[in-house]
Chain A
Amino acid sequence: MNKWNLIVDVANCTNCQLCVLAVQDEHVGNEFPGYAAEMPKHGHRWIEIDRYERGQGDKVDVAYVPTMCQHCDDAPCIAAARDGAAYKRDDGIVVIDPDKAKGQRQIAEACPYDAVWWNEDLDIPQHWFFDAHLLDAGWHAPRCASVCPTGALRVEKVSDERMAEIARDEELEPLRPDLETRPRVHYRNLWRAKRAFVAGTVSGKVNGVIDCIEGATVTLTGGSNGSVMLETDGFGDFKFDRLPADGQSCTIQIAAAGFATAERSLTLSESTNLGDIRLERTG
């Protein structure tokens, strides 16, 4: 049995918001009986994009993580629903029946991803239901994936076995593994949001002026990483990335020929720019 899955590649999301806008275009002012009632014009974000800024000064990066109903195979909303108001379809999609769910606020409250929205006017819970109404009518993808210009959102309708292979090959992971809800939305490059980096610039006096030092050896030790080494680039920059932001202490050691070794210690609780590390000439 082939089932729907959504794959989110964080590295390709530019926060253009087209997926969000496409959901509004599709659902504001339109009701699809059996699937969903109208979405409120403002206030609901059936798909929303979370911003993660890392770093400081000249070493920053930004990741955007689209989140939405995760279409969990162990869906807390289904467990919380009465009268089968929320249910799992054979193709993996979770649907909240707009009629049966009336008044069932606990369906919205049950979602650990905060992806089920409460519609005050209609007194119903609502969510991104994979545009099942369109898929059932023969569309090849939900609006959000069709409109995405970078492939940051893509769908796969495959067997669970095949999906497991894809997840392995592409290093996909769930948004919140700790919740253990077996979501059908899978994330790639989530480390861009969830992990930390340590970066800096190495400089020193060369031919009478301060210059960037290329090829300096930078070693990170400590934390849960053991020891990692890299070389500075043409701008004297180094960046250790995908580190767990777990509050562990670590040390950075910088060695370059003709310069005294420098060392910095830090606690890795967030991405850190060590700034310009000026090496002193030896001899």
Chain B
Amino acid sequence: MFRLILWAMPWLFRYARWRSPAFRERLSERNIVVQIRTADGRQARYIAFRDGGVRSGPGLHDNPTVSLVFKTAAIGARLLMPPIDQLEQIDALKNFLVRLEGPDEDGVWFAQTVMAAMSATWKFGRKMPDGTTRYATMTNGGPLFVFVKDGRIIRTTPIEFDDEDPPSWTIEARGKSFTPPRAGTLSPHGMNWKAMVYAPNRIQYPMKRVDFDPDGERNIQNRGISGYERISWDEALDIVAGEIRRMKLEHGTGAIASSNGSHHNWGNIGYYLSAKLRFMNAIGTTEVHHNPDSWEGWYWGALHHWGGSLRVGGGELFGTIEDCLENAEMVVFWSSNPEATGGVYGGQEGTVRRQWLRDLDIEIVHIDPYFNDTAQFLGGKWLSPRPTTSPALALAIAHVWIEEGLYDKDYVASRTKGFEAWRDYVLGAEDGVPKTPEWQEAETGVPAKDVRALARKWGRKRTYLAVGGMGNTFGGACRNANGTQWTRTMVCLMGMQGLGKPGVNVGNLQLGAPLDFGFYFPGYADGGISGDLNNTALAAGLYQRMPQLPTMNTSTQVIPRLRLPEAIIDGHAEGYAWDARTMEGQFSKIVYPKRGHSPVHMLYRYGTAILGTLNDANRYVEMYRSPNLEFVVNQSIWNEGDVRFADIILPACTNLERYDISEWANAGGYGAHFNSQTNHRIITFQAKCIEPVGESRSDYEIFTALACRLGLGSYYTEGMRDLDWVKRMFDASDLPRHISWKKFIERGYFVVPPEREDLRPPTAYRWFAEGRKKDLPEAMPLPGDYTEQFLEGLQTQSGKFEFESSTLKRYAPEDPERPPIVKYTPAWEGPGVAELADYPLQLITPHARYSFHSQGDGKDSFLNDISDHRMLIDGHYYWVLRLNPADAAARGIATGDLVKVYNDRGAVLCAALLTERLRPGVAHGYESSAVYEPMGEPGRSVDKGGCLNLLSPRRSQVKNSHSMANGTAMVEVEPWDGEVAFERKAPLTDATGPRLEAAV
């Protein structure tokens, strides 16, 4: 049998060559001889590839380039006999039943050629009448059809369903029927990809900083200043592979760190938690450990009252759309602006549901210092507290409820724990200060009468509390200095009102669509091809279905991401883990450097977002110019942000230029059921719509090429191209039960049929409110986290909602920043802090509406033309800063004026936009500009790119955490005087410096 298969193999190549011009081209790439044989050499055949031809003969070749060696003929037959069983393959590799001898690159080429031969007849996309081919792809802004003609993208559109797609669901509420439109929706940045793919700042070829010589003078001080020269891929890859080798040889384990933004592209294969993690584990790197960005206050705060560690501190979500529409009498949007961010990744799927809310005339209240996009759309009462003071407002609401008996006393008695301690604090028994509406007015600026009126309505009506962009987490006030206080007070209010009772829940109609969650398809944090069973959710689901060679990082050294500059410059950093498994996971302290490990001397950057998205970003400018960092490589799509600080730049392509597979908004392990934001589960075959722009390559190909240079090519690829991994993931999912591969790659997408109405999951927390066992289809908390009986109670120690947190009581009961009951402390970076008197304006930097963090911004893209995003003044697109007219008048500023926004940490040039939508004393500009454009020396001059995170504090919200408080910063704004230089007054990395960092 083995002989027969070997004999047939050349014929497979010849057939594929006849059928496919692309395969013909592939065959002519290499002249090599491949020997396939048993270990004892008794059964053997060689295949010679020469000038595109395939020649084969029995027996042993004199001088094979590579040899594929099977332990026995039986094993060879088993592994090569179609249909290929992936588990058998992996088992054989793990048990050394098969091995590859010879140069890695040739071995990988041969293995991938076998795969290519088997896929030579696949037809991607659909031919359209106008001569275009329609492909599909997925983005952070929603699913797209991509129409291509002559190798060029003609247009991109939302995915509109046809008759072959399954029906949509219907929700009945208050005598009305609601059904979503039969198409996907997009975020603004989702309709911007054509401009992004063909952006003038696409990196076209590998580059080297002109004064960087890996074998001589490195001129580290010139990072960010010197220009670049074009080099070949071979040169670039040789330098990077050489530096990887040198780091390990000269410094030892831990010397290489890899750092990426949270979102490079979209796709389960070519993702940072997939292809990149696989590579970084394969070479052994110091992990730059992410903080729970955008969920900060929830993970470090609310978690301790209601659990939810596996949803980054967020709560349950099933059934809340139906329940809200049917039963709620009021919805309070508190720092909740889903129309700006589409939840997250959710296009504008929730928008139609919020229209239904309006159609049903359900009362709406918005609490936000900015009359935000959701308030603009839905209308309703608007209360505008000063940023960071919302916890005081919440305490005053609780005060009214307690004084007037407007809370659910039975629920509090039976379903919660520790209320008395909190109640005493609210009433003032503890500190002599009753937290009355009048008390909060001095903090928040919201009239006491309005708070009383709100509290009374809320206490009497079945109310949904909508917090953050997703309704139960994400963005907004959870990202400022008082983020933990805010989230904690939010859930405590719900604990008083009977969380889980009909019409009483947390949500903003963004999460919880009645979809079929029993249909298995993995999300982006489910591990992809990473092989990493420890640091992704791979072990929980995908690994069993898509066996793959495991990878394990051989460096256990970790740097908390927000302290990366300190780690590099000072050589020391501390933080806490984001460990979603349990509530106590976050108490694990991270200390860098780890004993016995090398400090980091090489940074492998992947993407560009640091300067726009991370706090007190001038620290990173300094980090890049530290002599401790001997080598920086940046693998990026666009030349923007911190790419200009790299020694070597590797051009990556977008996911429209490579193959991938993914589901819309499915984050997998990062946030279970985030895909419930969508009205239909849409899974796309992400086609390689066009060839990569310039010489750019897919991340997978770049890592493969590096791996080959380190002898890791076979291990890294398992002989697969990215397309083959895509097919493996297709096979691993439930898709094959519903659609053939052939049809899937032709249509480009699949819509999962909705859940049958009688099988829809029950409503979140209803089981809890009614004292039953948990009946929701979600594997959280983990079995060991139930207290008395499996499925009974919340994740908390008592299983009840804990006003007084057991975890915090155990961990640090005397911590003044995060005591067991939530208290209000004025923010350390907020109004009224004496040291900050020079900076009287509170700058809020919410998630951007038009771009997705830095994705879509800059790049000369279409978004630049949106005057609410950037303003064109004298030929430059400036970041927009919103100001109240009174604050602007006091400073002599008009709309369209250039203004310098600054504090001790940095200075940014913006375009002013005057609006009554902001309360006085508050300035508003989105976070995460992609453009960093210092007008003079980097770090010591004004940035006209719009990186407002140059101004945000680096201090964690609370000391015992690893969190950002970058949602607000105290600043001053003045008309631009043309002074380019800026001298930083805050210390760069010293944690105990004066002024802005005084309280650290």
Contacts and interface: CB of A to CB of B under 8 A. Distances in A.
A16 B917 contact: no
Interface in A105-161: 137-138, 143, 146-147, 149-150
Contacts of A170: none
A14 B339 contact: yes
Contacts of B351: 14, 149-150
A111 B449 CA distance: 52
Interface in B293-329: none
Given A28-B195, A62-B376, A210-B449, A146 B160 contact: yes
Contacts of B383: 58
A203 B194 contact: no
Nearest to B347: A149
Contacts of B517: none
A146 B145 CA distance: 13
Contact of A60 (B194, B198, B347, B382): B382
A149 B865 contact: no
Contact of B453 (A22, A137, A138, A235): A235
Interface in A142-197: 143, 146-147, 149-150
A276 to B, nearest CB: 7
B719 interface: no
B452 interface: yes
B382 to A, nearest CB: 6
A209 B441 CA distance: 13
Interface string B187-201: 110011011001000
B118 interface: no
Contacts of A246: none
A235 B195 contact: no
B186 interface: yes
A42 B872 CA distance: 10
B456 A42 contact: no
Nearest to A276: B447
A17 B373 CA distance: 13
Contact of A147 (B130, B157, B384, B864): B157
Given A18-B186, A234-B456, 16 more contacts: A18-B188, A25-B194, A25-B195, A41-B195, A42-B860, A42-B864, A53-B915, A55-B916, A60-B371, A60-B916, A62-B371, A62-B376, A138-B129, A149-B351, A212-B450, A212-B452
A97 interface: no
Nearest to A137: B130
Interface string A1-40: 0000000000010111110111011101110000000000
A193 to B, nearest CB: 13
Select the residue from A16, A236, A237 with max chain B CB neighbours within 10 A.
A16
A56 B916 contact: yes
Select the residue from B194, B456, B862, B864 with max chain A CB neighbours within 10 A.
B862
4 shortest interchain CB distances as A-B pairs: A149-B348, A21-B191, A149-B185, A212-B453
B109 interface: no
Contact of A137 (B129, B347, B355, B382): B129
Contacts of A25: 155-156, 191-192, 194-195, 862
B188 A17 contact: yes
A236 B916 contact: no
A35 to B, nearest CB: 13
B801 to A, nearest CB: 28
Contacts of B154: 30
B352 interface: yes
A57 interface: yes
Select the residue from B160, B373, B447 with max chain A CB neighbours within 10 A.
B447
B994 interface: no
B860 A41 contact: yes
Given A30-B154, A62-B376, A143-B157, A235 B381 contact: yes
A15 B381 CA distance: 21
Contacts of B454: 235
A136 to B, nearest CB: 11
Given A41-B860, A53-B917, A26 B348 contact: no
B911 interface: no
15 contacts: A14-B376, A16-B339, A25-B195, A43-B865, A57-B916, A138-B129, A146-B160, A147-B158, A147-B186, A149-B347, A210-B447, A211-B453, A212-B453, A235-B454, A237-B381
Interface in B175-212: 183, 185-188, 191-192, 194-195, 198
B453 A236 contact: yes
B438 interface: yes
A61 interface: yes
Select the residue from A22, A43, A137 with max chain B CB neighbours within 10 A.
A22
Interface residues of chain B: helix, strand, loop or mixed (majority):
mixed
Interface string B749-771: 00000000000000000000000
A71 interface: no
Contacts of B457: 234
A209 B451 CA distance: 12
A45 B865 contact: yes
A234 B453 contact: yes
Interface residues of A, number: 46
Interface in B847-879: 850, 860, 862-866, 868, 872
Interface residues of chain A: helix, strand, loop or mixed (majority):
mixed
Select the residue from B156, B192, B376 with max chain A CB neighbours within 10 A.
B376
B188 A211 contact: no
Interface in B131-158: 154-158
B59 interface: no
Given A25-B155, A61-B379, A20 B866 contact: yes
B448 interface: yes
A21 B373 contact: no
B884 to A, nearest CB: 10
B377 interface: yes
A62 B917 contact: yes
Contacts of A137: 129-130
Contact of A149 (B192, B352, B379, B917): B352
Contacts of B850: 17
A127 to B, nearest CB: 17
Given A15-B868, A56-B916, A21 B376 contact: no
Contacts of A43: 865
Select the residue from A14, A22, A57, A236 with max chain B CB neighbours within 10 A.
A14
A235 B157 contact: no
B532 to A, nearest CB: 37
A236 B917 CA distance: 21
Select the residue from A17, A26, A30, A56 with max chain B CB neighbours within 10 A.
A17
A26 B155 contact: yes
Contact of B355 (A12, A21, A51, A138): A12
A183 B860 CA distance: 34
Nearest to B457: A234
B448 A146 contact: no
Interface string B360-388: 00000000000101001101011110000
Contact of A21 (B129, B185, B192, B872): B192
Contacts of B447: 210, 276
Contact of A16 (B130, B188, B865): B188
A1 B130 CA distance: 27
B191 A209 contact: no
B155 A212 contact: no
B865 A42 contact: yes
Interface in A58-75: 58, 60-62
B158 A14 contact: no
Nearest to A18: B191
Contacts of A51: 868
Contacts of B352: 149-150
A150 B358 CA distance: 12
A34 to B, nearest CB: 14
A43 B862 CA distance: 10
A236 B449 contact: yes
Contacts of A30: 154-155
A55 B450 CA distance: 19
Contacts of A212: 449-450, 452-453
